[in-house]
Structure 1
Amino acid sequence: MTGAAAPASRDYSEGVTRRARLVAVVATLLCGAIGVVSSTQTWLVVVLGDSAGRTLEVPGASAIPVLAPLSLAVLALGGALSIVGSVLRYAFGALTVVIAVLLTWATAQVALAAPVSAVSSTVTEATGITGESAVAGLLDSITSTAWPVVTLVVWILLIGAGVFTLATAHRWRSGGRRYRTEDAAPAAGPAGSRPHDAIDSWDDLSRGEDPTA
């Protein structure tokens, strides 16, 4: 019974390990992807206090200039987590937490306060007027959409994904070992045992030999 239980326990442990890595990678990638999409969506709607009462839509990338590049960085980290070694897993997990905290703080400012600074670039582009105080004088109202709140929740989840990565990274199996073994296998055999490729055939023709022989 003990001998039969050991393989079952080992299989269960490996299954948990694979799921842990899958959860961390998928969660990180998903958060990064939502961040990229969010950067293109309308976060704030501004009504100018001029005679025309113009309405301006402020996308996430204008409200938070670092939203798109940092979201792309999160995507890159999620992809890299699936193949890197143990040391880089901890480094990338810590970096994920740092980026998530920065994005959480910046997004919370917009979601909870809708500051003038978040709409300044859009208003300046539409009116040509610069300076935060001058822009504030032009505004009649600033209204938030659901996107800042949704994105804020995503960054909180990303913090959890980064912490989960740090907590479970030591149990992940190396993603690159299998590929290194397969790549090294042909080199371990005799030099003449490798497959006859197109370059060899060309050399045979150059020597006047039949490459199909």
Structure 2
Amino acid sequence: MPNAGQAAGQAAAAAKAAPAWARKSSLVLLIAVLALAVFGATTQTWMSVTVNPDQVGQAGAAQEALEVQGSKAATAVTALALVALAGGLAAAIAGRIARWIITAIIVLASAGIVAAAATVLADPLAAAQGPIAAATGVTGAQAQVAVTAFPTLAVVAGCLLALAALLIIPAGRYWKTRTKYDAPTAAGSTATAGPVDEIDSWDRLSRGDDPT
């Protein structure tokens, strides 16, 4: 049908005209890399803690500096990074409305990552109290805390992750349709006119059409 052919031609032209930043594969890969960067940062040492030996007794005096991983210093960051990663992958197959929801989820997750990592940077001793108590059995201990570069890396990656997620909305205009809910009417009529298999029949029944 002419209308169907025109619609297909316009969709193909729009896909070809997509700028580099709007390509689905590039944007999804960028979000995945940034989310994995945050996740990887949490597996590294965020703080090196030296506890005052007078507060933990002779046993504690012989202890070396306590290395605190990001997953223990800011427990929420690991989970939020996985949420952002799943959201980025889901955006590749989502429809227009779903992409808005996914974008909001990734932005909120990114904000949580930045807030949690920034809290560690702002007050590292408070963030280290949990690991200190688990290692020494002493709560509220005074200690010297040396912060590594990984919390800062998590903050930077979290900010970039939010910016990348915001690109999903304008970039989605260049992406090809992947779900039946986004398919144009002309394309749908073309599919109806062709041979119908069992899967197509179930899809049409779910839309209220009778393939018989």
Instruction: Tell me whether 166-175 or 50-59 shows the greater mean CA deviation.
Output: 166-175
For 2:65 and 2:118, the matched residues in 1 are separated by: 23
For 1:167 and 1:186, the matched residues in 2 are separated by: 33
RMSD: 3.0
Instruction: Identify the match of residue 69 of structure 2 among 56, 59, 64.
Output: 59
Q: Name the aligned partner's letter for residue 52 of structure 1.
A: A
Q: Which string of whole-angstrom CA distances, capped at 9 and with x for unpartnered residues, describes residues 144-192 of structure 1?
A: 1111111111111101111111232233222345xx99xx9997159xx
Instruction: Identify the match of residue 105 of structure 1 among 105, 108, 115.
Output: 115
1:117 aligns with 2:126: yes
For 2:73 and 2:172, the matched residues in 1 are separated by: 35
Question: Residue 18 and residue 53 in structure 1: after superposition, are their counterparts in 2 closer, same or farther (change >3 A)?
Answer: same
Structure 1 unaligned residues grouped into runs of 5+: 1-7, 191-213
Shift of 1:116: 2.0
Aligned length: 173
For 1:97 and 1:36, the matched residues in 2 are separated by: 16
Question: Residue 13 and residue 145 in structure 1: after superposition, are their counterparts in 2 closer, same or farther (change >3 A)?
Answer: same
For 2:138 and 2:193, the matched residues in 1 are separated by: 66
Q: Name the aligned partner's letter for residue 71 of structure 1.
A: A
Shift of 1:117: 2.4
- Name the % identity: 25
For 2:67 and 2:10, the matched residues in 1 are separated by: 56
1:172 aligns with 2:180: no
Task: Give the structure with higher Rg (CA).
Answer: 1
Instruction: Identify the match of residue 127 of structure 1 among 127, 131, 136.
Output: 136
Q: Which string of whole-angstrom CA distances, capped at 9 and with x for unpartnered residues, describes residues 51-86 of structure 1?
A: 336300110111111111111111111111111111
Q: Which residue of 2 aligns with 1:46?
A: 49
Q: Name the aligned partner's letter for residue 45 of structure 2.
A: T
Q: Name the aligned partner's letter for residue 118 of structure 1.
A: A
Structure 2 unaligned residues grouped into runs of 5+: 1-8, 54-60, 199-212
8 A Cα contact 1:31 1:155, kept in partner: yes
8 A Cα contact 1:25 1:82, kept in partner: yes
Paired residues for 1:132-151 under 5 Å: 134-135=140-141, 137=142, 139=143, 141-151=144-154
Q: Which string of whole-angstrom CA distances, capped at 9 and with x for unpartnered residues, describes residues 13-53 of structure 1?
A: 31343841223211211111112211111011101111336
Q: Which residue of 1 aligns with 2:78?
A: 68
